[in-house]
Amino acid sequence: MPDVRTRVLVTDVAWPTTDVERDVLAAAGAELVLSPNGDPAELSRLAADADAILTCFAKVTAEVLDAAPRCRTVARYGVGVDNIDVAHATALGMVVSNVPVYCVDEVADSALLGVLALARRLLPLTRDVAAGGWGRAVPGAGTRLRGKVLGLVGLGVIGSALASRAQALGLDVVAYDLSGRPVPGVRVVDSLEELLTVADAVSLHVPLTERTHHLIGADQLRTMKPTAWLVNTARGPLVDTDALLAALEAGEIAGAALDVTDPEPLPADHPLRTRDDVVLTPHTAFSSDGSLAELATKAATNVVDVLRGRVPATVVNPEVLDSPALRGPLESR
Give the domains, in start order, of the chain with CATH numbers. Answer: 6-102+289-322 (3.40.50.720), 104-280 (3.40.50.720)
pLDDT in tens, 229-264: 999 999 999 999 999 999 999 999 999 999 999 999
Query: What whole-number distance in Å separates Cα of residue 292 and Cα of residue 235?
Result: 19
Tell me which of 22, 121, 235, 327 is the catalytic residue. 235
Active site residue 31: no
Torsion of the alpha carbons at 138, 139, 145 and 150, rounded to the nearest 10? -120
More confident residue, 270 or 1: 270
Q: What band does 178 get if pLDDT is binned at 50, 70 and 90? A: confident
Model confidence at 11: pLDDT above 80: yes
Active site residue 264: yes
The C-alpha angle 131, 138, 111, rounded to 5 degrees, equals 90
pLDDT in tens, 263-315: 999 999 999 999 999 999 999 999 999 999 999 999 999 999 999 999 999 99
Q: What pLDDT score does 288 carry?
A: 95
Model confidence at 1: pLDDT above 90: no
pLDDT in tens, 197-209: 999 999 999 989 9
Active site residue 88: no
Tell me which of 165, 264, 270, 294 is the catalytic residue. 264
Tell me which of 214, 270, 283, 310 is the catalytic residue. 283
